[in-house]
Amino acid sequence: MLSNLTVIDASSVLAGPSVATFFAEHGAKVIKIEHPSHKDVTRSWKLAKEDATSPVSAYFSSINYKKEYKSIDLKASEGIKRFYELISEADILITNFKHGDDVKFGITDKSLLELNSKLIIGKINGYGEESDRVAYDLILQAETGFMSMNGTPNSGPVKMPVALIDVLAAHHLKEAILIALYERTSSGLGKSVSVSLYDAAVSSLVNQASNYLMADHIPERIGSLHPNIAPYGEIFHTADNALITFAIGSNTHFEKLCGYLNLEVLLTEDIYSSNQHRVTNRLQLFEVLQSKIIRLNSDEIINAMIANNVPAGKIKNLEEVFRSPSAKALIREEVIDGVLTKRIASAISK
């Protein structure tokens, strides 16, 4: 699909490399540049059970795929020469340099675009192009509201178990690069596009941001519950000791759920007559639903909900997730530095 593109990945950690991997998955030639002695730090981010002597880690493998690896020291004149040779033939450059490094290395947007006017430069930074503050996903989750909302009333603030802000910023940068590629088809010219982790995080607050901006609502930690919808995110125990949850997004969903559980009487009660009323009375509603659900097995409930087009799911760990043929179909394998690596592909169907 993108086999006519050459991408230079001069980034590290998660966001930038995952963007480059996206292009590699879809056929682009991707060259990853690493310092000869200070390679991508995520090569060393290993679980306790991983091989300490391996040149790669599971973390590194997750966002580096189908890349050609080159060792280049951008502080050395020979390194800059080799880098410029690569750039002269490239379509896309991805970086996450620290503030001022582009000037220090002599690879500013201006100099790169003078060398290759068709080059698209995709840059990720932490807090904006003029900030030299070090940015890690955890700190962004803390400072953009995500941790304050995530968790339960008793847990205190909790970070997401994936580097969510990096993932979000990567998607934003992909969008920017794809737009620039489209514009280049008519202009013939490249450009520089930039995404900050901070802006990506704040822009991804979506409905929670509008709840605050329009209703002055500061979200509290309510676990998996949805502040605007009920029942939505409540976790129910079943007869087979499984955990399930529902996303009841409409009155029709609620009616079908009540019908299945023989709780049609709830449909006649004013306190459950609308979604807003159900949000107000969600604890009482949870207890009524749980009293019925605990008598049923998870599979029979989920199958019935699927048959009735009611959103419901069983809460699974990753071992259970990867028993699914659909999940298995997204696994991609590759040998990197003599090590068999595995990761999950992008969700875009070819």
Please give the Cα distance from 91 to 120 (Å, whole number): 6
Amino acid at 96: N
Q: 243 in helix, strand or coil?
A: strand
Q: For residues 327 and 336, is the Cβ–Cβ distance under 8 A?
A: no
Say if CB 2 and CB 85 are below 8 A apart: no
Q: Which of 40, 102, 137, 166 is catalytic?
A: 166
Pair of tokens at residue 256? 């079908």
- Name which of 287, 289, 286, 299 is nearest 263 in CA terms: 289
User: b or e along 11-47 (b: 16 or more beta carbons within 10 Å of the residue's beta carbon)?
Assistant: bbbbbbbbbbbbbbbbebbbbbbbeeeebbebbeebe
Structural contact between residues 137 and 198, judged by C-beta atoms closer than 8 angstroms = no
Q: Is 296 exposed, middle or buried (0-12, 13-18, 19+ CB in 10 A)?
A: middle
40 is catalytic: no
> Which amino acid, residue 25?
E
| Distance from C-alpha of 121 to C-alpha of 93, rounded to nearest angstrom | 5
Residue 306 and residue 312 in contact, taking contact as beta carbons nearer than 8 Å? yes
Catalytic residue positions, numbered: 166
